[in-house]
Amino acid sequence: MKLPVPDEILPADRLGRVHFVGIGGAGLSGIARIMLTRGIAVSGSDGVDSPALAALRALGATVHVGHAAEHVGDADTLVVSTAVREDNPEYAEAVRRGLRVLPRSAALAAVMAGRRVVAVAGTHGKTTTTSLLTVALQAAGADPTYAIGGDLAATGVNAAEGSGPVFVAEADESDGAFLHYAPYAAIVTNVDADHLDHWGTEEAYRRAFDDFVDTLDPDGFLVCCVDDAGAGALADRHEARGRRVVRVSAAAPGALADVELWSPGEHYLADALAALAAGVGLGYEAADLVRGIASYTGTKRRMELKGEAGGVRVYDSYAHHPTEIAGDLQAARALAGAGRVVVAFQPHLVSRTRIFGAQMGAALGAADEVVVLDVYLAREDADPSVTGALVADAVPLPADRVAFVPAFDDAAAALAARARPGDLVLTLGAGTVTEVGPRVLELLG
């Protein structure tokens, strides 16, 4: 569900009691965590129980599994995930009672109020770059507040309240959320068309990034990873308008030339360089920031090592766009060494698969063996004409090295049957494919 952002966004401490519908998701759980730390009364609900819900309960939130009108209780404000549908009983109850109802973007803007915000945007690499900047600033003594779309491996959480003035936030473009933050500074990792179900055209998608940069503080700055043509063009346009722009490129690693990062891959190096540039732009010492980047151990679901069994290492990553698939397969190839790369990919969203399915398949051709699952529906309804077969049929490998496995429960066995000692197994996708890796390890063990 797409809700309008109110003209006036109140600071978090003026929202009263806040109830989150979809509180277990990566976006809302982080906002709730920050509010709880600030002493704001928080309640929420989600469709299934999860470690995220348990963690929020431990912080003092009242959290329900399942949705019912009475869960709204005496809340003053309702925050709604984009995955929630209009017939949700808690949303309907809030509308009936005339409560303040906010989308995720407005809730995040509310907790940002009064802080020096650095927003990390881009089609790919937002979570990793936000994580790197957070860890770098922590090493430099900044103690920032942060809200990330994934859990930091070092802390196990996706958000935390810091004592310093800086707020580091992952800025999501999928539904236009990033247009409502008015940050001091921003990073744009790349501009590569996606989320056309919302934006309609590639031109509109790219124009949204110009609108995002226009929301920056006039005294702030923009960091762009210019290895990407879209981000490079964005840098040129806004520098010509007088914006302070810092360009980074994996071809010129500078202070990170001798640093061994947590994962290979030029896109990860570019993310680290962007984080370093933003930290320096905020006035922190490069040496301290580099020390933090060197200590970074990753973020869950971003080339995350799940374990090893039978001589096979299993990794998991969130890649769901052709460019992301290509980047993570490049990293996987470097990690595999002399071994083969065996991949399971779960397409995410019917609309994305319809538009980019053939390109996803082409990118998967960089692996040695490929298993394609069916489409993870998320917030969309199924379309019988759009299945994982669209992707599998486009993989440029011999037919015996590609399999479309529509039944989710069969995916782990299909992977385990293809893997042999020395191989690297990689599960890719933004949906439930993350559950497949542990099952593979059990089978191989």
Pair 167, 116: CB distance under 8 Å: yes
83 has pLDDT over 90: no
Q: What is d(CA 283, CA 277) in angstroms, rounded to the nearest whole number? A: 10
Rounded to an integer, what distance in angstroms lies between the CA atom of residue 142 and that of residue 139?
8
Section 304-314 average pLDDT: 95
- At 219 the pLDDT is 97
Is 126 annotated among the ligand-binding residues? yes
Q: Residue 96 above 90 pLDDT?
A: yes
Looking at residue 196, its pLDDT comes to 74
Tens of pLDDT, residues 329-380? 998 999 999 999 999 999 999 999 999 999 999 999 999 999 999 999 877 8
Position 209, amino acid: F
CATH superfamily of the 12-103 domain: NAD(P)-binding Rossmann-like Domain (3.40.50.720)
Confidence at residue 254, expressed as pLDDT on a 0 to 100 scale:
93
Tell how strand 116-121 and strand 185-188 pair up: parallel
Angstrom CA distances, 298 to 36, 189, 203, 214, stand at 25, 17, 33, 31
Q: How far is residue 7's CA from residue 5's CA, in Å, rounded to a whole number?
A: 7
pLDDT digits 0-9 by tens, 231-261: 999 999 999 999 999 999 999 999 999 999 9
Give the domain ranges of the chain.
12-103, 114-295, 304-444
| CATH T-level fold of 304-444 | Protein-Tyrosine Phosphatase; Chain A (3.90.190)
Q: Is 266 exposed, middle or buried (0-12, 13-18, 19+ CB in 10 A)?
A: middle
* Cβ atoms of residues 238 and 245 within 8 Å: yes
Asked whether the whole model's pTM tops 0.95, one would answer: no
Q: What pLDDT does 151 receive?
A: 87
| 130 among annotated binding-site residues | no
What are the distances in angstroms from CA 60 to CA 12, 14, 30, 32, 51?
A: 17, 19, 14, 10, 15
Secondary structure letter of residue 226 according to DSSP: T
Q: Tell me what pLDDT residue 150 has.
A: 84
Q: Is 128 annotated as a binding residue?
A: yes
State the pLDDT confidence band at 27, using cuts at 50, 70 and 90: confident
Rounded CA separation 216/184 (Å): 6
- CATH topology match: 12-103 vs 304-444: no
The reply to whether CATH 1.10.150.120 applies to domain 114-295 is no
Q: For 104-171, where are the E strands, in sequence order?
A: 116-121, 145-147, 159-160, 166-170
Using the predicted structure, report yes or no on whether residue 194 has a pLDDT greater than 80: no
Give the pLDDT score at 22. Answer: 94
Q: pLDDT tens-digit profile of 252-288?
A: 999 999 999 988 888 899 999 999 999 999 999 999 9
Average confidence (pLDDT) over 138-165: 93
254 is in an annotated binding site: no
The mean pLDDT of the chain is: 94
